Chains A and B, each alone.
Chain A
Amino acid sequence: MKDFEYVRATTVSDALAQHERETTAYLAGGTNLVDHLRLGIRRPDRIVDISRLDLGGIEETPDGGLRVGANVRNADLAMSPLVRQRFPFVSQALLAGASGQIRAMASTGGNLLQRTRCVYFQDRSTPCNKREPGSGCSAIDGFGKYNALIGQSDQCVAVHPSDLCLPFAALDAVVHVTGRSGDRAIPFAEFHRLPGDDPSRDTNLEPGELIVAIEIPPLPWATRSRYRKVRDRASYAFALVSVAAALDIADGHVQDLRLALGGVSHKPYRAYLAEEQLRGRPATAEVFEVAIDAELAAAHPGGENAYKLPMLRRTVVAVLQELAEGAVR
């Protein structure tokens, strides 16, 4: 591990002031950053510890949404009665990720900024444009099982790894950040980036900007929501594909729907097209299939990842059917 200077931030403005150069990194739970320091794939020369900043708390907003502090631990968010009753798929997504120990450490802010699990990104001995811009992409002609289906570029084909980000994308969450040029609110859909010709940037955060909170707008019918993750082993593994869905249904017809897919793209993938096609339509398996097929028509599988298409299709249909039947909330 390369040498670095360690400082602990006492206030948010202190944290911003200490993050004065590009080679500084914030430390929250450390479950991603410390691993990357150990692998030698991140080499900051200063670490600003933000873990003791007062960025905690899960609060109700006046309109019925929630505001989640960036330092709220994944375990605490998953356990919150407000989250479990209003937005059950947020809790389910958290509980499908990592392990009990890691969830007790990992923060909400850090979860949004965790980096891809692309095996080449994690292996410093191979070329990777995300890790070392301009060095090439080993995954395009390499081990392709986990690669993206939609929105990838000839520079990078990695997928975004977070489970929590899928319900956040489905809920149109808003990321509140602060930086030296002031505060901003970033809609979730604009937070993560597609790789384009600069895969080294995962998000639209500016250097030094700090996430302070994530706001979930109200969505009363999200009480009927579900997260399902398909993976190589039953527990403690990243997703091959995953589905976050909330369904508003009346008289057997879809009133409204939110659908986000994981294991698909460089960012949490929101299935806007399928949502649009399903509004007002009968809630049957055949209708769900047609809509997800329309959405996945944009996919460009590379070969080894082509299995993801039928897997996604079946998972989406199963989740929507379950929600429609109300068998599982």
Chain B
Amino acid sequence: MPSAQQVSVRLIVDGQEHHVELDPRVSVMDAIRDRLGITTVKKGCDHGQCGACTVLVDGRRIISCLTLAASYDGAQVTTAAGLGSTDQLSDIQAAFVDRDALQCGYCTPGQICSAAGMFAEAEAGMPSHVTADVSDLQKVRLTPEEISERMSGNLCRCGAYAHIREALTDVAQERGQA
């Protein structure tokens, strides 16, 4: 049953501005996929448990399924397509190709966005669950162990993680974060 209320929502997706009238129940993910027809954002579980729907909002990674689009009015959303194009892959995307780090089409875009968020967090000094001493304010180094922990919000059911860790270790080395 459609809602009696419609809310006006402005979303800037991959640099392009959109205005939509939405039922207040619609998530950011559903607004982007179903209303704007941008299908780089994938729906896995719809309950925050798989990470497939990960996008960057104002530069930070979030899951777009446990959101209300109305609450994100005005947000700058970046999907995997906004991080690079087929002609000009971002370093993360190129590393995925080089290392054959591809998972199924459902999981990969969320993995790419999550990785971009992870590098930004590490650059800002965020510790993780495997960081030996959180009270040490020195910049963390993205070891394979750190990468696995930080990427653990992106689950797949087939376990194809090993190449992803290698690809992201390459990126960390190139960026001087390893």
Contact = CB atoms under 8 A, between A and B. Distances in A.
B117 A102 contact: no
Contact of B152 (A49, A88, A99): A99
B25 interface: yes
Nearest to A49: B71
B66 A105 contact: yes
Interface string A74-117: 01001101001100100110011011111011000000000000
B66 A100 contact: no
A79 B62 contact: no
User: Which bracket fits the contact residues of B?
Assistant: 35 or more
B82 interface: no
A98 B149 CA distance: 11
B127 A95 contact: yes
Interface of B: 1, 3-5, 7, 24-25, 27, 46-48, 51, 54, 60-63, 65-68, 70-71, 114, 117-118, 121, 124-129, 131-135, 137, 148-155
Contact of B47 (A35, A223, A236, A328): A35
A24 B25 CA distance: 15
A100 B61 contact: yes
User: Which bracket fits the contact residues of A?
Assistant: 35 or more
A258 to B, nearest CB: 17
B68 A101 contact: no
A22 to B, nearest CB: 20
Given A99-B154, A101-B153, A223-B135, 7 more contacts: A6-B7, A37-B25, A51-B71, A84-B137, A92-B134, A98-B153, A235-B148
Contact of B121 (A30, A34, A39, A75): A75
Contact of A27 (B5, B62, B71): B71
Interface of A: 1, 3-6, 8, 27, 30-31, 34-35, 37-39, 47, 49, 51, 75, 78-79, 81, 84-85, 88, 91-92, 95-96, 98-102, 104-105, 223, 234-236, 328-329
B62 A35 contact: no
Contact of B67 (A4, A34, A236): A34
Contacts of A95: 127-129, 131, 134
10 contacts: A3-B1, A5-B4, A30-B66, A30-B68, A49-B68, A75-B121, A79-B127, A84-B127, A100-B114, A105-B67
A35 B133 contact: no
B1 A101 contact: no
Contacts of B24: 4-6, 47
Contacts of A1: 25
A99 B51 CA distance: 9
A100 B1 CA distance: 35
A104 to B, nearest CB: 5
A35 B70 contact: no
Given A3-B25, A38-B46, A75-B126, A101 B61 contact: yes
B34 to A, nearest CB: 15
